[in-house]
Amino acid sequence: MQTNTAGEVRLSRYKAWDLPTRLFHWINLLLVLLMMTIGGVMMFKSDFGISGLDAKIGLKTLHVWIGYAFAINLAFRLLWGLFGPIKARLGKLLPKKGELAGYRAALKKGENPQYLGHNPAGKLAVIALFGLLTLIMVTGLVRAGTDIFYPPLGGMVQEYIAADGVEPASLKPYDDTGVNPDKAAAIKGAKGLAGKVHVYSVYLLLLLILLHIVAVIHAERKRQPGIISAMFSGNKYLPTTPVDKD
Ligand code: HEM
């Protein structure tokens, strides 16, 4: 730890998160909250006094439109994590051999290692978060196609299930007119599975988000002050050289 002549701890400023990464984080939080709210209303619509096919399809359509914004934001972050600057790379999330054990041993010894990016425990949480978000995005897009014929798969689904001689684009969601029943039955399994995985992943995501928030507040108060403000400003002010400084 560096101190000045008066014995005060000297903090050095380090650039931790770039602007695109921070923007992704806060936009993602906002959209996930919005999607969870709309998804919740969809699940319990009768409790909200919402009934009728038009309202049901309307809610799903709204969910899907906001889902596109969520998917674009996530896809951008995944690409930024592959082609963006080193600090934003997803490869940095993979813990190195013995890294987590070393971190826990250091904490046990009363040391307080500082990190520019995530600490080794945080890396595992972020990998799980990205995995779940991606699964929710993929299953959501599958559901959007199979349920209400929305892109990117909706056109293909309509073409597949349309009865002979029926114009695929004329098929309407939740309406069997012009549908080949055998073909509709053939995709039912995949459609149901995507729906189940989508919803259970959301439950798991909710749990992980709560854990993430508790862990971040704990780290902020006990070990790594300033990690929350760093996700706004991009900067971390650290008393020692960070372990993961390139
Ligand atoms: C973090 C983001 C997301 C959350 C929290 C979320 C949440 C939910 C929830 C709770 C449901 C269940 C509603 C029900 O059973 O009636 C649902 C269904 C659905 N979601 Fe999402 N969703 C997300 C992302 C997406 C995306 C990206 C899309 C596609 C663009 C999408 C498309 C759908 C569709 C079409 C349904 C209806 C499925 C059905 O009727 O079973 N979702 N979502």
Residue 178: per-residue pLDDT: 98
* 135-139, 165-169, 210-214, 242-246: segment of lowest average pLDDT: 242-246
CA–CA separation, 212 and 130 (whole Å): 12
Which range of residues forms the domain containing residue 31?
Answer: 12-238
Closest Cα partner for 245 from 120, 81, 114?
114
> Closest residue (by CA) to atom 14 of ligand 1?
43
* 4-8, 97-101, 137-141, 162-166: segment of lowest average pLDDT: 4-8
Torsion of CA 100, 106, 109, 110, to 10 degrees: -110
Tell me, yes or no, whether 223 lies in a domain. Answer: yes
Site to probe by mutation for ligand 1, drawn from 34, 198, 203, 204 as the one with most ligand atoms within 8 Å of Cβ, is 198
- Is the model's pLDDT at 165 over the cut of 90? yes
According to DSSP, the residues that pair with 78 across neighbouring strands are none
> How crowded is residue 68: how many other Cβ atoms within 10 Å of its Cβ?
16
Q: How does the average pLDDT of the chain come out, rounded?
A: 95
Tell me, yes or no, whether 27 lies in a domain. Answer: yes
Count of domains observed in the chain:
1
> Closest residue (by CA) to atom 1 of ligand 1?
32
CA–CA separation, 119 and 88 (whole Å): 14
Comparison of pLDDT for 8 and 181, the residue scoring more: 181
CA–CA separation, 137 and 132 (whole Å): 8
pLDDT digits (tens, 9 = 90+) for 15-67: 999 999 999 999 999 999 999 999 999 999 999 999 999 999 999 999 999 99
Residue 7: per-residue pLDDT: 67
> Closest residue (by CA) to atom 19 of ligand 1?
140
Site to probe by mutation for ligand 1, drawn from 32, 36, 130, 143 as the one with most ligand atoms within 8 Å of Cβ, is 143
pLDDT digits (tens, 9 = 90+) for 166-214: 999 999 999 999 999 999 999 999 999 999 999 999 999 999 999 999 9
Residue 4: per-residue pLDDT: 62
Tell me, yes or no, whether 88 lies in a domain. Answer: yes
According to DSSP, the residues that pair with 179 across neighbouring strands are 162
Which CATH number fits the domain that encloses residue 18?
Answer: 1.20.950.20
Tell me, yes or no, whether 208 lies in a domain. Answer: yes
